[in-house]
Structure 1
Amino acid sequence: MTDTHIFFVADGERLEWQSWLLAASLAHAHRGRGDVHLYAYASPDWLEQVGPVTRAIYAEAGVDLRALPESPNWAKPYPHGNKIVAATDHRGPGRGIFLDTDMICLKPLTELADLPATHIAAAPEGRPTWGPDDRWQRAYDHFGLPLPTSRVRLLRGDRPEHLPYFNAGLVAMPEDAQPDGKRFADHWLETALDFDHKCKIANKRPWLDQITLPLAIARFGYTAHVLDESWNHALSHRGSAIDQTPDAHILHYHRFMFLRAAPQWPGILQRFFDLVPRAQHPAATDRLREMNLLP
């Protein structure tokens, strides 16, 4: 059985608080699975500030709290790049799955571990937030790559077809080394740093991670495994249609107001408090109120 390593970044107060709900949901969805391992990453400075509620929740959920590897030399500060940096840490053989902290897991993610070792799985982005096509042509030209002939269907609006472009909130990747001795995370970081420093193109931030994800896939001979919307279901800006939330693996809520409006919220909240040690309930309740998740 292939091990599944699910990891997220909880660097800073907001991400740390969000991670409480994510960690509890991951623990519930994978209860009793010895082949599933959970990890949280924070910068060395923030590790010293991680509070007792967080540590208690991580202990109950089986989350291994680790220091982020050393930040690379981005052309200018790029906090979004922490997901790529976290991915480069060594967790053991199997399949790694990165998740944004503003997510809730409702179903096991273990079937992603059964993908071939060269497959990188992600769901398409909702809208064409970076482009247009001539920019993508220049991006692929920078690495001497042909513009892909394949297309993905974006997940919001009128769902147009688009060059491969993925939401980097969930990325499943092999943890094992490839023939060159590097893992996909190393290839992604190498590609992102090269593109950041050497490709003279506008508006790289905050989309540098999402721009370089398909570029790294193409550059190093991986296969993009296109996930459907149930693996990264965005709750934001759906209005009354939020009540039509499908039977998703992952809810990606972006803002707390959207999570509170979701029909799954009462169950998510109940499972959260079922996991949190009773001694930590008052402090957890106060923080959820600050997040506008409780009245």
Structure 2
Amino acid sequence: MTAPARAQPLNVMIVGQAGRLQYEALLFALSLAHATPRDQVRLFVAEPQPGPLWSQNPRILDAEVRELLSAHGAIFLPFESRHFGQAYPYGNKIEALAALPEGEPFVFFDTDTLVLGDLASVPFDFARPGASLRREGTWPQIELYGPGYTAIWTSLYDRFGLDFESSLDTGWPEEHWRRYLYLNAGFFFYECPRRFGQRFLDYALEIRDDPPPELVCQSLDPWLDQIALPLVIHAFGGGRDALPEGLLDGAVTCHYRALPLLYAREADAVVQRLEEIAAPHRVRQVLKQYVPIRRMVYQGRGAKARALFDRDDLPRREQAIRNRLKREGLWMR
């Protein structure tokens, strides 16, 4: 199944800022340029601007990083941090949506993602939003005497006037986390960034500032975006089946989360794509400034991490992979 011919390029957004994210943004841009014809996509690198919610300038200040991003098709997209900023940087993905062109379909990706195939070939139905299903049951954390999954999620759906029952995957039993519409914010898409972003912002702020009583024992940091996102997806008529399986978080993209995890668990094709795009001399000179990339990609620690694991028999939980990498001195981010 392929996407129909596009009347205009697909708007793709990532967030870039000083530190780790600028190097991840560069890897994303390099991989996108390698896999997708440039005339089929417009890559927006959203940059938070200096302001009272940041103690330092959050913009990408490295001129070489900026030049390489531009050379590979990136369009810098400034936005103001009015609600989150340094206290909750995950909120960047929410606030940046207001800066994208209104009324034009978009796809957001976390910067710690590689593009493996032609993104323009993905058959998005932008009228039905979706998000990543590559997640574990990280929220909520059920307390012994506290409310369970049903009570917690029902309280949120009720707060925003949404139908809870239609969000459930009844193939899973009561109080199993997969029964509930819990999504990863590593990617999401919709037909209008302004409408989606405003709803995302409204829900996130209300959950943060006036949570239902059922959330009293629950941490909202760093989970706030992933608590609000499923509610937004459901409110706009989307859900788990918004995309065919095996494309995003599969053959077309890989949300690797951290380089040690990429080497430990991802397919050979992902490692090959990473090392291929990182090989050119000019790219290497820039990327090696970031210690995890220098050590994992260029100094061979990635190969050592890869040798620790059997990709056909990985630990069931990501934390077990992280713990082993830490014991071997190979965890870095």
Which range, TM-score by smaller chain?
A: 0.7 to 0.9
Larger Rg: 2
1:7 and 1:39 in contact (8 A); partners too: yes
Query: Partners of 2:92 and 2:112 in 1: how far apart?
Result: 15
Query: Partners of 1:189 and 1:292 in 2: how far apart?
Result: 36
Q: Counterpart of 2:32? A: 26
C-alpha spacing 1:125/1:151, structure 2 compared with 1 (3 Å): farther
Corresponding letter in the other structure for 1:216: V
Aligned residue among 105, 122, 138 for 1:129 = 138
CA offset at residue 256 of structure 1? 0.9
Tell whether 2:67 aligns with 1:67: no
Instruction: Give the TM-score normalised by the residue count of structure 1.
Output: 0.78
1:105 and 1:249 in contact (8 A); partners too: yes
Query: Partners of 2:230 and 2:42 in 1: how far apart?
Result: 26
Query: Partners of 1:10 and 1:175 in 2: how far apart?
Result: 21
Q: Counterpart of 1:43? A: 48
Query: Partners of 2:60 and 2:8 in 1: how far apart?
Result: 34
CA offset at residue 285 of structure 1? 3.5
2:105 and 2:191 in contact (8 A); partners too: yes
Identity %: 24
Tell whether 2:231 aligns with 1:215: yes
Q: Deviations over 1:94-127 (max 9, x none)?
A: 321110111101112235574143x112132422
Paired residue secondary structure (1:98): strand
Paired residue secondary structure (1:169): strand
Q: Counterpart of 2:160? A: 143
Query: Partners of 2:189 and 2:294 in 1: how far apart?
Result: 32
C-alpha spacing 1:8/1:197, structure 2 compared with 1 (3 Å): same
Aligned alpha-carbon RMSD (Å)? 2.9
Corresponding letter in the other structure for 1:199: P
Paired residue secondary structure (1:183): helix
Tell whether 2:59 aligns with 1:55: no
Aligned residue among 86, 90, 98 for 1:80 = 90
CA offset at residue 60 of structure 1? 1.7
2:278 and 2:287 in contact (8 A); partners too: no
Q: Counterpart of 2:320? A: none
Q: Deviations over 1:63-105 (max 9, x none)?
A: 011222333269x932111111112213254321110111101
Q: Counterpart of 1:254? A: 257
Paired residue secondary structure (1:88): helix
Instruction: Give the TM-score normalised by the residue count of structure 2.
Output: 0.70
C-alpha spacing 1:272/1:153, structure 2 compared with 1 (3 Å): farther
Unaligned stretches of 5+ in structure 1? 177-181, 234-246
CA offset at residue 56 of structure 1? 2.1
Tell whether 2:286 aligns with 1:270: no
C-alpha spacing 1:22/1:48, structure 2 compared with 1 (3 Å): closer
